[in-house]
A and B are shown apart, each in its own frame.
Chain A
Amino acid sequence: MNVLHFIQQFFSDSAHWHGYDGIPTRLREHVQYSLIALGIAAAIGLPVGLVTGHTGRGGNSLALIATAARALPSFGLLVLMFVLLGLGHLPVMIPLVVLAVPPILVTTYEAMRSVDPSPVDAARGMGMAESRILFHVELPVALPLILSGLRSAAIQIVSTATIAAYVSLGGLGRYIVDGLYQRNYEKVVGGASLVAVLALVTLGFFWAVARLTVSPGVRRGH
């Protein structure tokens, strides 16, 4: 009950809805950072994952990259980049992208590898070009898994972008970090609920994208 009370107080305070520290501004910042980071990570991870998955080479080195990236502490990396590079967006974007590339890359690779080889062979026998096989045969079947890799990456980014408020990034994490310093628990819980909702919206977004883009035949197969 207590927490709900704080949340209600936070949202009913009209001061939280205007200006540079208002909820719309912070939400926009958070979404913006997350989208940029996800965009860069996908631009790196998807092509590499698709090609390595299609050719089947480099699986071992990808597994190594995945383990190494998982071992890196995201928060520590964030603070380290901030200390080394100073204020700005770059020191925050580097850890966000570094953390998001491995899930996209590895899941895309695994997704392409897990495609049933017989339709691929059939397509090749029919004389389809390799690029057409990749995009018209393998990709539609691998899509659910690829999307789930993007989803893990997105959730990870939203979560880490929250922590990035500690190294002076904007976004919804500001409420939590500032609130903790000011001992303003109402602000802390308000920010936390916003972040949690944003994460769940992200989850829902990817669910919806999967519903719309995955072909019904593939979906039924799973």
Chain B
Amino acid sequence: MSGLFEIPSDLQNTYWGLVVLHLRLALVPVAAGLLVALPLAQLCVRLRWLYPPVLWVTTVLYAVPSLAFFVVLIDYTGQTETTVMIPLAVYSLVVFVPALVDGVRSVPQETMDAATAMGLGPLRRYLQVQLPIAAPAIIAGLRVATVSSISLVSVGMLIGNQGGLGNLLNDGMIYHQPRLIWLSVIGTAVLAIAADAALVVLRTVLTPWMPRGRSAARPAPAEARPEPAAPVLKDAAR
């Protein structure tokens, strides 16, 4: 059993160490992206004219290939973890901003009026009414962003072994050990699926009022304005 997960010493880490590293490289940017997207989306809800240009900018940034993004950042942040994390955080915005804006906008006006009538100020109304109601949409976005982030971290290997489990790919190539490549591919896929499953569980915990079971697993039908946010939200994987 220990032989299966044995990895070359030049990586200066154990397999499980790489797993933890991979998760950190993937999840910190998603959390950072969400933190940036929350105020940005709220701004877009308040100022309607701001939403199209913001969407446009995030779509353009998302189109920039990860490797190109990484290497341009090397000049500023070196061959470090930060260089890998910044593009991943930027990519996550293309998912989070529309998810948050559509989620918050979908709160019915009566609900908002009821909250106001109960004496809730703008901040408490946002935290206690709008965000919880938008939770399914936010978590749907979180799932896409997390899974693609976990998949993309591996590319960081190319800029000086900053790719978590992706670092195994290079060793597999130079030492002619397909086992290491399998370890990397399967390990990454398992992490992605596990993270996705964890978020599904989180959603059922956070939204006890939603129907459970098979019907709950299917996302609500897309709204009638798909261009350009909705499809990206579904397929932000690369």
A binding-site residues for B, Cβ under 8 Å: 2-3, 6, 59-60, 63, 66-67, 69-77, 79-80, 82-84, 99, 102-103, 106-107, 110-111, 113-114, 144-145, 148-149, 151-153, 155-156, 158-160, 162-163, 166, 173, 176-177, 179-180, 185, 188-189, 191-193, 195-196, 199-200, 202-203, 210, 221-222
How many whole Å from B141's CB to the nearest CB in chain A?
Answer: 13
B173 & A83 in contact (Cβ 8 Å cutoff): yes
How many whole Å from B174's CB to the nearest CB in chain A?
Answer: 11
Given A71-B189, A177-B158, A199–B64 Cβ distance below 8 Å?
yes
Which residue of the partner chain B has the closest CB to A110? B222
A162 & B192 in contact (Cβ 8 Å cutoff): no
Pairs A–B under 8 Å by Cβ, sample size 28? A3-B72, A3-B75, A59-B218, A66-B235, A74-B152, A76-B165, A79-B172, A79-B173, A80-B181, A107-B231, A107-B235, A145-B231, A148-B226, A148-B227, A148-B231, A152-B235, A155-B62, A159-B65, A162-B65, A162-B68, A163-B67, A180-B71, A180-B159, A185-B75, A189-B71, A196-B64, A199-B65, A202-B63
How many whole Å from B186's CB to the nearest CB in chain A?
Answer: 9
B binding-site residues for A, Cβ under 8 Å: 59-60, 62-69, 71-72, 74-75, 144, 147-148, 150-152, 154-155, 157-159, 163, 165-166, 169, 172-173, 178, 181-182, 184-185, 188-189, 192-193, 196, 218, 221-222, 224-228, 230-232, 234-238
How many whole Å from A123's CB to the nearest CB in chain B?
Answer: 19
Which residue of the partner chain A has the closest CB to B190? A71
B151 & A113 in contact (Cβ 8 Å cutoff): no
Q: List, in ascending order, chain A residues with CB within 8 A of B144's CB.
A: 70
Q: List, in ascending order, chain B residues with CB within 8 A of A71's CB.
A: 147, 150-151, 189, 192-193, 196
A145 & B227 in contact (Cβ 8 Å cutoff): yes
Q: List, in ascending order, chain B residues with CB within 8 A of A166's CB.
A: 158
Which residue of the partner chain A has the closest CB to B59? A203
